[in-house]
Amino acid sequence: MKQILSELQKTNQRMVGFEKRMDGVEKHIIGFEKRMIGFEQHMVGFEKRMDGFEQRMIGFEQRFDNLDKDMKELKVGQEQLKDNTINRVGSYIEEIAKHVDVRFDEVKDTLDDQQRVIDTLAIRSVKNESEIKEFKRIRQLPTTYRPFGLIEVGA
């Protein structure tokens, strides 16, 4: 019996040591659980920050989409403005060209009339010069050879 009692005491001591170790393990597990809870809280905070970051990214993407849309609208507007400007300037240039053509025709007609007058005056001038030369020649002839009769010499 002593032997059984001795074995029981040894077993009891082992159990006490085992319980102490189990208490230490339990304390470590409790500490680990506390750290895990802290880690989970940090993760929750991190996830909240990530959610905020994702929301900001969504906002940025929407703004970029709006900017792309606005840029496309601007390009379309510029093309329309350019086309309208070209069309308006084109018709304006056509009107100017027509006006210039009309004015050119008027000036050309006036110049043609003036050229005819100049040509007529030139012909008359040449004719008058030849008549003047003829008169000078006749004046230098003696009176008997004058074709128009007696003309006073010296007059």
Percent of the chain with pLDDT over 90: 52
Kindly give the residue spans of alpha helices, DSSP state H, lying in the chain: 2-140
Q: Quote the CA–CA distance of 39 and 32 in Å, as a whole number.
A: 10
The sign one gets for the Cα dihedral 123, 126, 132, 136 is: negative
Range name among 41-45, 133-137, 148-152 with the lowest pLDDT average: 148-152
Residue 155 buriedness (CB in 10 A; 0-12 / 13-18 / 19+)? exposed
Q: Quote the CA–CA distance of 82 and 125 in Å, as a whole number.
A: 61
Q: Which amino acid is at 76?
A: V
Q: Is the pLDDT of residue 154 over 70?
A: no
pLDDT digits (tens, 9 = 90+) for 70-122: 999 999 999 998 888 888 887 888 888 899 999 999 999 999 999 999 988 88
Mean pLDDT of 109-137: 88
Q: How confident is the model at residue 155 (pLDDT cuts 50, 70, 90)?
A: very low
